[in-house]
Structure 1
């Protein structure tokens, strides 16, 4: 069962996001097993992250690796992530 996760981050900047991404890639932890989609959106200083995962267990396993990096970079959460079961997941291709 795939899940959609919306993370309630506070005041996320592009610099913080890029630093977390760099550290995760250097540590060989990116892309994580089970992540189907990762989206960064919003405005500078208020960026948001949503993801689709194959399972809650894979999300939890990655979260244990990610949390120390988020703490080091100063990324703060405003609570627990919102998690929703996926009912339909279609990958659409467009023609140019």
Structure 2
């Protein structure tokens, strides 16, 4: 079952986001879900929060297990960057259109 994951990072800057992406992808950037270190990503969208402070991320994953595998890779990177991770909002996807 696909899931939607929403994360709000009130203290994450764009520079920290870019650094995390570089570390996650070995510098390949975000050109395709295949660039991520864990299979199962369907969609990734991110941008600054409306108030200009922090960063917002919404992902669609093929399964909760795939997201949990990704979290095991991402969380140590965020810790190294000094970013506090907020608990994700996770819900089952009712419809995924590709």
* Both structures adopt the same fold (TM-score exceeding 0.5): yes
Query: Superposed, which structure 2 residues align to 1:54-65 within 5 Å?
Result: 54-65=62-73
The CA RMSD over aligned residues, in Å, is: 2.0
Structure (1/2) with the larger strand percentage: 1
Q: Which runs of 5+ in 2 are unaligned?
A: 29-33
Provide the rounded CA distance (Å) in 2 between the counterparts of 1:5 and 1:19: 21
2:88 to 64, 81, 94: 81
Provide the rounded CA distance (Å) in 2 between the counterparts of 1:27 and 1:33: 17
Provide the rounded CA distance (Å) in 2 between the counterparts of 1:42 and 1:18: 12
The 3 A distance-change label for structure 1 pair 45 and 30 is: farther
Are 1:17 and 2:12 counterparts? no
TM-score of the superposed pair, with normalisation by structure 1: 0.82
The structure number with the bigger radius of gyration is 1
* Structure 1 ranges of 4+ moved more than 6 A: none
Q: Which runs of 5+ in 1 are unaligned?
A: 92-96
- Following superposition, the deviation at residue 27 of structure 1 comes to 8.0
